[in-house]
Chains A and B, each alone.
Chain A
Amino acid sequence: DVKVTQSSRYLVKRTGEKVFLECVQDMDHENMFWYRQDPGLGLRLIYFSYDVKMKEKGDIPEGYSVSREKKERFSLILESASTNQTSMYLCASSSPRGAGGLYEQYFGPGTRLTVT
């Protein structure tokens, strides 16, 4: 079974703090993704990475950065957390090999981040 794990289920941080969200997958997938999920807005893509040290901006990258130093690990960084970054953060991975790379992503359980 594919397994995507995220470092925390719940996280509370203060405004202005630097926040690291970690994601690890065990399926040797090349692609990894970070989304945030808010009620009524669905899943919005923040950043994704298609290879180690490679990244591409998603639809809402402002206020975020990412790091991919190893294939299995993809980190989302909030440089200076703000209250409007309170959200559920979901990590996902996929393999570009075969047609599944077009549509099948495996998600982690999510991190609910509250910024106060």
Chain B
Amino acid sequence: GQSLEQPSEVTAVEGAIVQINCTYQTSGFYGLSWYQQHDGGAPTFLSYNALDGLEETGRFSSFLSRSDSYGYLLLQELQMKDSASYFCAVSLRGDSSYKLIFGSGTRLLVRP
């Protein structure tokens, strides 16, 4: 079967750096993506890694190691508005098209 593991909760201070890890066990893996969801809101796409290495998008970076089945999301210069849940997701090939399988999510609490 497919499984993804990420910490359930992380707490950090405003202005700090935080890393949210994700390990996965899947077959037919195409890439790892990250989504952000504020309380009461819809998940929104943050970043995607298909190849090993680091992808940077402003204050957010995402890393992938395919050989280790591991990735992480790095948030720098944390702001209060970054308090949200963060989901890693793997892209898989279904019978006829692509689909995402999501982790259970990491709740990030940013404190002043």
Interface residues of A (CB under 8 A from B): 4, 30-31, 33, 35, 40-45, 48, 50, 54, 56, 58-59, 90, 92, 94, 96, 99, 101-110
Contact = CB atoms under 8 A, between A and B. Distances in A.
Interface in B63-111: 87, 89, 91, 94-105
Nearest to B47: A103
A81 B99 CA distance: 26
B89 A40 contact: no
Contact of A45 (B33, B48, B101): B101
B50 A102 contact: yes
B8 interface: yes
Contacts, number: 74
B97 A42 contact: no
B89 A48 contact: no
A102 B98 contact: yes
Interface string B32-69: 01000000011111001010000000000000000000
Contacts of A33: 99-100
A103 B97 CA distance: 12
Contact of B91 (A43, A48, A102): A102
B98 A110 contact: no
A42 B102 contact: yes
Contacts of B41: 109
Nearest to A59: B101
A11 to B, nearest CB: 16
Interface in B1-47: 2, 8, 30-31, 33, 41-45
A84 B91 CA distance: 28
Contact of A48 (B48, B87, B99, B104): B99
Given A50-B97, A56-B97, A96-B98, A105 B45 contact: yes
